[in-house]
Amino acid sequence: MKFIGDYQILREIGKGAFGRVLLAEKDGHQVAIKETLTRSRTALK
């Protein structure tokens, strides 16, 4: 099981160039978590 803080990650529900959206759960409530990717300025060139 993977966790981000107190939230259990259930699955990835979307992905793009700048990050991804994860379906997570805490205390029986489902939420979407957006995880953004960070890149150095040189990686963007």
Give me the pLDDT at residue 43, please.
60
Collapsing DSSP to helix, strand or coil, 43 comes out as: helix
How many whole angstroms separate alpha carbon 23 and alpha carbon 30? 7
2 among annotated binding-site residues: no
Give me the pLDDT at residue 44, please.
57
SS3 annotation, 4-35: ECCEEEEEEEEEECCEEEEEEEECCEEEEEEE
Q: How many domains does the chain have?
A: 1
User: Which domain, by its residues, includes 27?
Assistant: 3-44
Give me the pLDDT at residue 39, please.
74
Sequence length of the chain is 45
Give me the pLDDT at residue 14, please.
98
Span 1-45, pLDDT tens digits:
899 999 999 999 999 999 999 999 999 999 999 999 887 666 655
Give me the pLDDT at residue 38, please.
85
